[in-house]
Structures are given as C-alpha cells and as structure tokens.
Amino acid sequence: MGDFPIQISTRLIDRLTEDDEKVKKRTKKTKTRVPREPRLPETKVDQPQISDGSEQQKGTSTGTGWAVPPPLFMPVNQPPYSVSAELDAIRSVVKESENVVEKLRKQEKNMVQEVTQKAKDLHDKEFKIPEPKPMPCSVESNAWVTCYKENTNDLTKCAPLAQNFAECARRVRQLAKPAD
C-alpha cells in the first residue's frame, strides 16, 4: 500500500465548525412564516461578495472566537509502535511484583515460626507441670510386695520387709507433720 500524508486544513476545520453552528441554529425556535413575494438579489458594484464561509482566509477566527490552528502534517514513515517494549515493561513489573510477594511469604513464614515458638515458650513457662516427687519408701514397698507374690503359701517370711516399710512410712509422716 502507498504511504500518503494526512493534512488537516483550516477549510476542513471551518466546515466542521460550521456544521455544528448550523445544527445549533436549527434547534432554535422557529417562527411561523408568512408567505411573501420572492425578492430578487441586488448586488452593488462597490460591495464585496459574501462567501458561504468555506473559503475563509488562513488565520481568521470562526464564530466560536477560537483561532484556527495551522495545518497538522503527520510524518509519512512513522516508526512502528513497539508493542514488545510495552510488554517487556509489563513483564518486568509483574516479575518484580512476584519477587516482592515471595519475599513477603518468606517473611510471613519466619514470623509464624517465631510467634509459634514464643507462644510455646510462654505456655511452657506459664503452665509448667511440676516435677513429680519421688514416692517415699518405694524401695521398701517394692520389696515386700515382691516377697508376698513369691511366697503366697508362707507369708511369715515377708514380715521383716513389711516392718521396714511400716517404719519408713512412719518416718515420712513425722517429717511431713512439722511442715503442715
């Protein structure tokens, strides 16, 4: 296809603005016409002819009061708009956004671990289970219970072990009474 320049002239602008003015004039209230006899146009030699406005000179203003701009010439061989440059810019912004999101996810993960650890530490400090105290006289108790299981027919053999357990229990009770 052939390349050709585009030229916007003052004539074109004048025509376009006059069309708008004509439309505006048509929207005004119409007066009722009274039939009259047609007049013949009289032209005098001294008066300049009035044109329809399509041949106005350059630099004159239209009825709107705006100055007519000079014609606009578009370059014939315009470099093609680089769509790939715009796509590359968008891709770089998207990639940067993804990197920011990834950093935020890592930071969130670290914060979750930190908060979980602090909550666990606080829970352990607040609700620490007391260490169980060793049962007093457990050795003596285990000894006489084992003896009774082994000697079910003759329980008199276990009497000394039972007395040791009873004495131990009495000592523990005496030590506990002054503390109460």
Note the pLDDT tens digit of each residue in 134-177: 888 889 999 989 998 998 888 888 899 999 999 999 998 888 87
Handedness of CA 115, 120, 123, 124 (dihedral sign): negative
**Alpha helical stretches, state H, 151-180:** 159-179
Q: Which residues contact 13 (CB under 8 A, 6 or more apart)?
A: 62, 68, 69
Assign residue 86 a region (left: φ > 0; alpha: ψ between -120 and 50; beta: otherwise).
alpha
Task: Kindly give, in sequence order, each residue whose CB lies less than 8 Å from that of residue 58, ignoring residues fewer than 6 positions away.
Answer: 10, 68
Q: What is the pLDDT of residues 27-85, one digit of tens each?
A: 556 666 666 665 655 555 555 555 444 444 444 445 566 788 787 776 666 555 667 88
Q: Return the ∠ at Cα 81 (arms to 80 and 86), rounded to 5°.
A: 145
Which residue would you say has higher pLDDT here, 124 or 96?
Answer: 96
Q: pLDDT tier at 100 (50, 70, 90 boundaries)? A: very high
Cα separation, 41 vs 105, whole angstroms: 87
At 54 the pLDDT is 47
pLDDT (0 to 100) of residue 114 = 96
Is this model's pTM higher than 0.75 or not?
A: no
- For residue 63, the model assigns a pLDDT of 56
Name residues whose C-beta falls within 8 Å of residue 12's C-beta, 6 or more positions apart in sequence: none
- Give the helix/strand (H/E) hosting 7: strand 7-8
Give the pLDDT score at 167: 93
pLDDT (mean) for 103-126? 92
* pLDDT (0 to 100) of residue 108: 96
CA distance 53 to 12: 11
45: how many CB neighbours lie within 10 A of its CB? 4
Give long-range contacts, CB 8 A cutoff, 24+ apart: 73-79: 73/5, 73/6, 73/7, 74/5, 74/6, 76/3, 76/4, 76/5, 77/3
